[in-house]
Amino acid sequence: MMIISIGLASVGVLVAIAGLKCTRYLDGDNRLKNRIALTGGSFFILSGLCALVVTSWFMYDIMADFYKMKSDEGFVIGRSLIAGFVAALLCLFGGMLLSICSATCMQSNGNVIKHPTSKSPGKDYV
């Protein structure tokens, strides 16, 4: 399942790159570009959910084994489990952020306030 999560994140990266505003792919159609970015965000959300499920399941097994044993041997939640939780949460957060931003851009009319440009470049200095 973690391999599936990595695969979904990889596909999400490729799809999200195509939907970013800084790329020249589908430059004329902003609505389609936002939909592609929304799709990439949903791939990231699915990837984060898969990673979170696997990490939580493994943690549950460790805790169940710990409570079954009567000896003084202790189990420690390792760094890899913590890294799995952090990676899953970052993937979820990034996917939600990408999805929300592209969904709000799809709903807006495209009336974005831009910085004023100079009519004579090279003469105005900051």
Which two three-digit tokens encode residue 66? 């710990």
- pLDDT at 38 exceeding the cut of 80: yes
Percent of the chain past pLDDT 70, that is, above it, reads 80
Judge contact between 47 and 95, C-beta under 8 A.
Answer: yes
What are the pLDDT digits (tens) for 58-111? 888 888 877 777 666 666 778 888 999 999 999 999 999 999 988 887 776 555
> What pLDDT is attached to residue 48?
95
Q: What angle do CA 110, 111, 116 make, to 5 degrees?
A: 125
Q: Which domains does the chain have, with CATH numbers?
A: 2-70+77-107 (1.20.140.150)
What is the phi/psi pair of residue 20, to 5°? -75, 150
Q: Would you state the structure tokens that stand for residue 99, as one six-digit string?
A: 């999805």
DSSP state, 116?
A: P
Residue 13 has pLDDT above 80, yes or no: yes
Q: Record the pTM.
A: 0.75
